Amino acid sequence: MALLSASILSANFGRLEEEIKTVEAAGVDWIHHRVLQSIREAGARASVALNPATPLCVLEHVLAEADMVLIMTVNPGFGGQEFISELLPKVRRCREMIDASGHHARLAVDGGVHEDTIDDLVEAGADVFVAGSAIFGGDDRAAAVRSLKQHLPAEPRAARGP
């Protein structure tokens, strides 16, 4: 299947978010950019987010510029969704890609992160965990944070090895 990619080089950078939303709504398949490089050149950290259906091969040419890869473990749109357990192998493969690349990008997961899923995500190689409902869904947010943090490794990933 052929794809149409819109190059943001011709977009109005003063209204970039609006420009991207417009062409996405119009049906382009991809947004083509060297945004990661530009972000890093500006002194900021750059991240790449992948929706559940986005294949890891899209990282092939941008991983060297990414400080973090975020894998959505639910379909974006609203909080409280159930973690898609079929994405654990994707998280594991992404960790392997990052480690094999020699770059030190963080691997984040977002969606359905709570006490019943965090251990599997740690084991798969994630090292940043975005939790919404698990933290904000109860009355005692401090207890929720403590509870989730007890599942995290005590030492940084780099010290544990690939």
3-state secondary structure of 147: helix
Q: What is the pLDDT of residue 90?
A: 97
Q: pLDDT (tens digit, 9 = 90+) per residue, 38-65?
A: 788 888 898 999 999 999 988 988 899 9
DSSP 116-140: TTHHHHHHHT--EEE-SHHHHTSS-
Q: pLDDT (tens digit, 9 = 90+) per residue, 68-113?
A: 999 999 988 878 889 999 999 999 999 999 999 998 899 999 999 9
Q: What is the pLDDT of residue 41?
A: 82
* pTM of the full structure: 0.77
Higher pLDDT among residues 77 and 161, named by residue: 77
E strand or H helix at 18: helix 16-26
Q: What is the pLDDT of residue 37?
A: 80
Q: pLDDT (tens digit, 9 = 90+) per residue, 113-159?
A: 999 999 999 999 999 999 999 999 999 999 999 999 999 988 766 53
Identify whether the C-beta of residue 112 lies closer than 8 Å to the C-beta of residue 78. no
Question: Residue 94 burial by CB count (10 A; 0-12/13-18/19+): exposed, middle or buried?
Answer: buried
Identify whether the C-beta of residue 31 lies closer than 8 Å to the C-beta of residue 56. no
**Where residue 7 falls among pLDDT bands split at 50, 70, 90?**
confident
Instruction: Name all domains of the chain by residue range, CATH numbers in brackets.
Output: 1-33 (no CATH), 42-160 (3.20.20.70)
Q: What is the pLDDT of residue 16?
A: 77
Identify whether the C-beta of residue 69 lies closer than 8 Å to the C-beta of residue 91. no
Q: What is the pLDDT of residue 1?
A: 65
Q: What is the pLDDT of residue 156?
A: 64
Q: What is the pLDDT of residue 157?
A: 63
